[in-house]
A and B are shown apart, each in its own frame.
Chain A
Amino acid sequence: MPKVKVDGVEIEVPAGATVLQACELAGKEIPRFCYHERLSIAGNCRMCLVEVKPGPPKPQASCALPAADNQEIRTDSEMVKKAREGVMEFLLINHPLDCPICDQGGECDLQDQSMAYGRGGSRYDENKRAVTEKYMGPIVKTVMTRCIQCTRCIRFAEEVAGVPEIGAIYRGENMQITTYLEHAAKSELSGNVVDLCPVGALTSKPYAFEARPWELKKTHAIDVMDAVGTNIRLDSRGRQVLRAVPRINDDVNEEWASDKTRHNVDGLVRKRLDKPYVRKDGKLVAATWNEAFAAIAAVHHGGSVAAIAGDLLDCETMFAGKLLVEKLGGTMLEGRQTGLAYDVSSLGAVNFNTTLNGIETADMILLIGTNLRWEAPLVNTRIRKAIKKGAKVFAVGPEVDLTYKVEWLGNDASLLANLPQAVVEAFGKAARPAMIVGGGVLAKDGAHGDTLALVETLGLIKDQWNGYNVLHFAAARMGGLMLGYAMDGGVRAMAAAAPKLLFSLGADEVDYSAFDSSFKVYIGHHGDKGAHAADVILPGASYAEKAGTYVNLEGRVQYGDKAVFAPGDAREDWSILRALSDALGAKLSFDSFEQLRVEMVKAVPALGVEGLADYGWSIPKLPTGATGEFGSPIKDFYLTNAICRASPTMQHCSAELIHGESFAEAAE
């Protein structure tokens, strides 16, 4: 623990800290461009110069200098001030003065720091360097003349995203940042370089020229594109969400968000259901709320009522739906839309028990039937971190490029019953072994039981360590399971029971042809599969238009806020269910969202506490003996739900990055 003096104040810093970190601990702000907490140190922007004694009598780059005992650091001396002014002047030599037309304006590190640390004016009379724009894909817009070559994007692509496709070519004055041969960066995390870029060189293409940061209303929300529960901030103006950016939460998403999380928001204003519809003579016709309610009330269900919950739902909606179904005399609730019917008698056995933070400390990992890059990109980055610390990864399932070295054992479920001896031995020696069970496993009969049997074989349970993880990819899944949205036999059993009245709560992945005899009421926000099959459509709110409780794949309860109002006649889901209950003569007991939440917490106390829910740990007795190949439940990463299917950006990403269509020229 070295003791250093920062501007005359002595502090103790952790061993291994840099001078920059020491200054920050002392409460001093050090300007920087290339240094970033989550990336390796480059030390090439020189903005973080400070004066350090003992040492050479010149300013030193604090980001790359280890803090040592008895150092005297000055951040406020004349030398430091001059050094910062000098560096800033050099950076601005070739930086264009186009802030008024730059999307970064208002949230630009260079702009802010030149105000704080730069000289008042320019002494530079020569011509500025100009650099041609580079194509980086459908998400990232480039204006490379603005680039100050901090190399954050290069380091992010290589270290975090694992796709070393961005680099610096040529040298000296001609140095340019580009993707390899200007092909699109094939990463599902590419949008993060926009946040990392300290200037306006890399900006968001879909958000280009949309808004200025200071005119946006900022709302804290939870992402629903996958089950990670990325903490996001929705930036909205008026009634439209203009962008989604990640918030920092080290336990969940660190500082990152997948491209789907960031760029689905343009789907929120397209293909929206903004008024109720009733099916008349086989055609859906716009109706009033009262007409729609009357049409539902006319159904003689006799207690044969069911509800299917979609993947994007908040817990409150699911709870209100459950109350309504129960009040009408029904019992059938299901959330696993695609027909999965795995056992849920122990929620611990379908949970990501190691936790997101924990998985990066694992030293031996077995992936089963999962494409982590598509099912949970931010879990994949955690595993990359684990590998950097020395973890080894084995995998059973269809081979995909996970951006790191994996030992593929084959795509055969019978492998689970007899893993190669070498794997079992490797796990035997591991101190923190973990297994991740993907969606492909839950879809296969007996495979869930096989993986649970491996808990014993591989010794996944240790003191303070549970290495058994099931990876869900629906934001509503864990919350739905806590609320009882799972029945024996899944959706197929529900279809076999042929409910007279079926509530589809934003369920768009269900095979509705199995429910031909049911009267289907769709409560949701997009005109997708569920709405097409419905007999009555009640327009609801998307995740951006309602507050809600979400539970991520590790059982972490999180709360999101409402950013904007739903379009047209659409209402928040809980109020629809409340009004509908009145019309059906089965009045629900809550009159406000707060009351609903209180009731929900009363029924499921874990949902009332932010943080990890405790499911306990017990291994249910399940059938084993799966055979055959694992499939991949996600066919197209960019089009997994109704919102992204409506989003032009996601369609573009899918067409270009997955189906290989070329847009490079059309984009210019």
Chain B
Amino acid sequence: MADAVHIPDEAETRARWGAFEWTAENAAQADKIIARYPAGRQQSAVMPLLDLAQRQVGAETQTNGWLPVPVMEYIGRQLDMPYMRVYEVATFYTMYNLAPVGRYHVQVCGTTPCMLRGSDDVFSACKNKGLVKGGTTPDGLFTLTEVECLGACANAPMVQINDDNFEDLTYDSMSAILDDLATGKQPKIGPQIDRQTSCPEGGPTSLTAMVEENHDYRGQWGTTTI
């Protein structure tokens, strides 16, 4: 359990976040989310509301946001569900942060496909920029977390920073991304090599004639090369 999140001191958290309330905008959004579910089933809204709250906390603290205990209780009261049930949901899903994170939450995938394609290089790039697994950098910019598969194996290795994926990483491109973020520039989202999403590198390798215009391949059916 070495990786278990340390829940921040309760009294301190309550003093800081005890008065949490939705902003006017988020209150409207929360009502909209709750209205998606039938009356009496409003508890189903707990996950989107926790996410909304995490984003509001993030906006207030200039970070990627986290879920202080009083905020979870606020949602529990709004949805009329026991605090423990909200807490269970928040601890179950890794996208909810139980402790404060930095402005950029760097989630590096270390699952087998990414590892085989070089996630260790990504980690060493992070390490060389001063990021420590499970910790936040002293300037409050980066929090590094190793996560399990984020479902972008075709673009391994990959990292999720806040809401964006950065894919097909190398030691150099990862370092460049962190440098850009540290200086306030927006790095390119998605694959860091010459490819579009998970299409082949360097352009299409099949159905090449389709790139420019619609092409009738029927005449070539049965031949070995298309």
Contacts and interface: CB of A to CB of B under 8 A. Distances in A.
Interface in B72-89: 82-85, 87-88
Contacts of B83: 180
A164 interface: yes
Given A165-B82, A167-B87, A169-B87, A181 B10 contact: yes
B211 interface: no
B84 A180 contact: yes
Contacts, number: 35
Contacts of B10: 181
Contacts of A169: 87-88, 91-92
Contacts of B88: 167-169
Nearest to A164: B82
Contact of B85 (A132, A167, A174): A167
Interface string A629-644: 0000000000000000
Contact of B4 (A165, A166, A170, A181): A170
B50 interface: no
A175 to B, nearest CB: 9
A101 B162 CA distance: 48
A132 B82 CA distance: 24
A131 interface: yes
Given A169-B91, A170-B92, A171-B92, A164 B85 contact: yes
A132 B88 CA distance: 17
A170 B91 contact: yes
B1 A130 contact: yes
Interface in B99-151: none
Contacts of A131: 1
A179 B87 CA distance: 11
Nearest to A183: B10
Given A181-B10, A181-B69, A167 B4 contact: no
Contacts of A179: 84
B92 A167 contact: no
Contacts of A165: 82, 84
Contact-residue bracket for chain A: 10 to 19
A171 B84 CA distance: 15
A168 B87 CA distance: 9
A623 to B, nearest CB: 44
Contacts of A181: 7, 10, 69, 87
A166 B85 CA distance: 9
Contacts of B1: 129-132, 174
A611 B69 CA distance: 51
Interface in A135-157: none
A403 to B, nearest CB: 11
B223 to A, nearest CB: 46
Contacts of A129: 1
Contacts of A168: 88
A180 B87 contact: yes
A167 B85 CA distance: 7
Nearest to A163: B82
A465 B69 CA distance: 48
A388 to B, nearest CB: 15
Contacts of A170: 4, 91-92
Contacts of B85: 164, 167
B66 to A, nearest CB: 16
Interface string B1-35: 10010010010000000000000000000000000
Contacts of A158: 82
Contact of B84 (A130, A132, A166, A174): A166
Nearest to A180: B84
Nearest to B7: A181
Contacts of B7: 181
Nearest to A173: B1
A167 B4 CA distance: 17
Interface string A97-131: 00000000000000000000000000000000111
Contacts of B4: 170, 174
Nearest to A169: B91
Nearest to B81: A164
A170 B92 CA distance: 5
A72 to B, nearest CB: 39
A442 B84 CA distance: 39
Interface in A177-213: 179-181
A621 B51 CA distance: 64
- Give the residue among A129, A131, A164, A180 with the most B Cβ atoms within 10 A: A180
A170 B91 CA distance: 5
A186 to B, nearest CB: 12
B181 to A, nearest CB: 30
A551 to B, nearest CB: 38
A131 B1 CA distance: 7
A157 to B, nearest CB: 9
A180 B69 CA distance: 10
A170 B7 CA distance: 12
Nearest to A158: B82
Contacts of B91: 169-171
A176 to B, nearest CB: 9
B185 to A, nearest CB: 37
Nearest to A166: B84
Contacts of A132: 1
B191 to A, nearest CB: 31
A181 B7 CA distance: 9
Contacts of B69: 181
Contacts of B82: 158, 164-165
A536 to B, nearest CB: 54
A128 B208 CA distance: 55
Contacts of A167: 84-85, 87-88
A566 to B, nearest CB: 45
Contacts of A171: 91-92
Contacts of A180: 83-84, 87
A554 B92 CA distance: 46
Nearest to B69: A181
A165 B1 CA distance: 23
A179 B82 CA distance: 12
A174 B93 CA distance: 12
A167 B82 CA distance: 10
Nearest to A167: B84
A169 B69 CA distance: 14
A181 B10 CA distance: 9
A170 B93 CA distance: 8
A144 to B, nearest CB: 11
A441 B38 CA distance: 42
A51 B1 CA distance: 37
Interface of A: 129-132, 158, 164-171, 174, 179-181
7 contacts: A164-B84, A165-B82, A167-B87, A170-B91, A170-B92, A181-B69, A181-B87
Nearest 9 interchain pairs by C-beta: A164-B82, A167-B84, A169-B91, A180-B84, A167-B88, A171-B92, A170-B91, A164-B84, A180-B83
Given A168-B88, A171-B91, A181-B7, 19 more contacts: A130-B1, A158-B82, A164-B82, A164-B84, A164-B85, A165-B82, A165-B84, A166-B84, A167-B85, A167-B87, A169-B87, A169-B88, A169-B91, A170-B4, A170-B91, A171-B92, A174-B4, A181-B10, A181-B87
Interface of B: 1, 4, 7, 10, 69, 82-85, 87-88, 91-92
